[in-house]
Amino acid sequence: MQLQQNLHQFTKAGISVFAISYDPVEAQAAFAQEYGISYSLLADVDHQAIEATGILNVQNVVGAEHDVTKVAPFPVAEVEERLQMSTWGMPYPGSYLIGQDGTVIEKLFYRHYRTRASAATVLRDGFGVDFEVRDHPRAEVGADGVRIRATLGTEAMVYMETSTLYIEIDLDDGLHLYGQPVPEGYVATEVTVTGPDSVVVGAPVYPATTPFRVAGLPEQFHVFHGDLRVSVPVYYVLEHFDHLLARGRMLAQRGPEHEASIVRQLIAHAEATRPPDKTEIRLEVTIRFQACSDAVCFAPETRTFHLDVPIAAVHISERAQRELGLGPEADEA
């Protein structure tokens, strides 16, 4: 429901939002009414658009890298069983960002079907829409001629929603930082972000460098001039405790008794040893760099600082609450 919850941000930026699936119009209309969807839903029943854009899942099992014809180690019956439990034949969830001229300017797709890019990530990184982030989690640190700031692109992290951590480096006039590749004896700028096991950190995305030469030296350098921004994707993967328990109860109800009994014991143990709910996590940012001017280079430096990020509650629809045994109706039962 993330698109609907953030629809006003897209509307304010003059961006139209629509979703496409192979569900018939009747199913989409029922879905829109139940979940309060007000943007356009497009029905691609014969999945021509889905196939044309290359997002139809034709892998044999979740996470597999080969098509079904290459699964030689498994008997046919086992392959068919795996197919029934996989997402084969379903479109990969993701987003296409389309410009005013009708061309695709960005594609946002993730391996796990539940992962989504945050609205802020789509707007800022995809469409280049800038917006105020003064109230977002942030931290700063400084060095000679260099000011470093880390800002989360969203106000909080949400379960399975990808956010972007922006590392902004402001340089005094006349200074530059080195990028890759760098000659021996010099230090390239490197950003490292770490967090608890509940956070997955992606690879940093650096801006483009410019060629640079120093008079009297044979090497060619690749440098960052002025102010630069490094983007680091991060997402929270720890599901809420109550949600996990509810899904466990659902499995216990639907599974065979010999498995259900084990699940019920695990649920009872989990409830008895319930950990405190996570409301905040800490990200650690480390930056290694070497600032130079046309005439002199400073000694390489490393700066490490922390960013405390709140964890937002996941919105669960009324239908999902009923299916998972959450909400007042479940309590009455």
Please write down the HEC assignment for all residues of 76-102.
HHHHHHHHHHCCCCCECCEEEEECCCC
Residue 72, pLDDT above cutoff 60: no
What's the pLDDT score for residue 247? 75
What's the pLDDT score for residue 177? 95
Report which listed range, 16-30, 128-142, 264-278, 282-296, is most confident: 282-296
- Across the range 190-201, mean pLDDT stands at 93
Give the chain's mean pLDDT: 78
DSSP classification of residue 158? -
The set of residues, in sequence order, having a beta carbon less than 8 Å from that of 298 and lying 6+ positions away, is 144, 145, 290, 291, 292
What's the pLDDT score for residue 232? 94
Superfamily of domain 1-56+91-130: Glutaredoxin (3.40.30.10)
Residue 189, pLDDT above cutoff 90: yes
**Residue labelled with tokens 């919105």:** 315
What's the pLDDT score for residue 106? 79
* pLDDT band for position 91 (cuts 50, 70, 90): low
Q: Which of 162, 230, 235 is nearest to 200 (CA)?
A: 235
* pLDDT band for position 89 (cuts 50, 70, 90): low
Give me the residues paired with residue 192 across strands: 286
Which carries the bigger pLDDT value, residue 192 or residue 24? 192
Which carries the bigger pLDDT value, residue 67 or residue 174? 174
pLDDT tens for residues 129-145?
776 666 789 999 988 89
Which carries the bigger pLDDT value, residue 72 or residue 316? 316
Query: Within 13 Å and on the Cβ side, how many CA atoms surround 256?
Result: 2
Which residues in the chain belong to E strands, given as ranges?
18-21, 40-43, 94-98, 104-109, 116-117, 138-143, 146-152, 161-171, 176-178, 190-194, 199-201, 210-213, 220-225, 228-236, 280-289, 291-292, 301-310
- Across the range 232-240, mean pLDDT stands at 84
Of the listed ranges 10-14, 60-64, 108-112, 279-283, the least confidently predicted one is: 60-64
Query: Within 13 Å and on the Cβ side, how many CA atoms surround 252?
Result: 16
What's the pLDDT score for residue 49? 80
What's the pLDDT score for residue 119? 76
Residue 216, pLDDT above cutoff 60: yes
- Across the range 17-42, mean pLDDT stands at 86
Domains 1-56+91-130 and 132-240+277-333 are alike in CATH topology: no
Q: What does the block give as tokens for 261?
A: 């009994």
**Residue labelled with tokens 């002025």:** 226
- Across the range 295-309, mean pLDDT stands at 92
What's the pLDDT score for residue 70? 30
- Across the range 67-81, mean pLDDT stands at 36
What's the pLDDT score for residue 110? 62
- Across the range 180-192, mean pLDDT stands at 92
Residue 71, pLDDT above cutoff 70: no
Superfamily of domain 132-240+277-333: Thiol:disulfide interchange protein DsbD, N-terminal domain (2.60.40.1250)
Q: Which of 227, 327, 233, 321 is nearest to 34 (CA)?
A: 321
Residue 4, pLDDT above cutoff 70: yes
SS3 118: coil
Which carries the bigger pLDDT value, residue 215 or residue 286? 286
Which carries the bigger pLDDT value, residue 98 or residue 216? 98
Cα Rg of the chain (Å, integer): 24
What's the pLDDT score for residue 57? 59
Residue ranges covered by each domain of the chain: 1-56+91-130, 132-240+277-333
The set of residues, in sequence order, having a beta carbon less than 8 Å from that of 111 and lying 6+ positions away, is 63
- Across the range 191-209, mean pLDDT stands at 93
Which carries the bigger pLDDT value, residue 12 or residue 60? 12
